[in-house]
């Protein structure tokens, strides 16, 4: 640290300056570092509330918006190509499941 009066380098734990005799107030020195520490904590905690969405919800949104509609589309197209009427019906249901899941998760994304 440096003396606040003469500006010379002095030992960290000095209670007075060995060069000019100025009293060293450690309260002023430690206060900004505490502020800096709390500031660091603030910036560390900062990004979390900004995102505000827990990890499971991210995963749920990704699964819901990508995988379920994709699976729905795949099954839907696959079954709709089938000549079997029952499978065509199942294909339509799968397509709707995919579309609905996609729309619901779009809502999730906009609300999150």
Closest-CA residue to 100 (of 82, 84, 76): 76
CA dihedral 66, 72, 78, 82 (to 10 degrees): -170
Rule CB under 5 A: say whether 1 interacts with Zn ion: no
Examine residue 17 and tell whether it contacts Zn ion (CB under 5 A).
Answer: yes
- Contacts of residue 24, defined as CB under 8 A and 6 or more positions apart, other chains included, come to 1, 3, 4, 10, 14, 15, 16, 17
Q: In this chain, which of 1, 2, 11, 19 binds Zn ion, going by CB under 5 A?
A: 19
Binding part of the chain for Zn ion, among 12-20, 67-75, 95-103, 104-112 by CB under 5 A, reads 12-20
4 binds Zn ion (CB under 5 A): no
6 binds Zn ion (CB under 5 A): yes
> Which residues make up the interface to Zn ion (CB under 5 A)?
3, 5-6, 17, 19-20, 22
């Amino acid at each position: 640290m440096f003396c606040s009066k003469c500006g010379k380098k002095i030992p960290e734990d000095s209670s007075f300056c060995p060069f000019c005799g100025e009293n060293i107030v450690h309260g002023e020195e430690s206060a900004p570092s505490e502020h800096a520490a709390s500031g660091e904590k603030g910036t560390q905690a900062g990004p979390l509330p900004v995102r505000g969405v827990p990890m499971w919800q991210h995963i749920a949104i990704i699964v819901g918006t990508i995988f379920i509609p994709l699976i729905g589309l795949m099954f839907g197209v696959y079954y709709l190509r089938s000549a079997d009427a029952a499978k065509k019906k199942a294909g339509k249901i799968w397509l709707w499941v995919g579309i609905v899941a996609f729309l619901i998760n779009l809502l999730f994304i906009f609300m999150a």
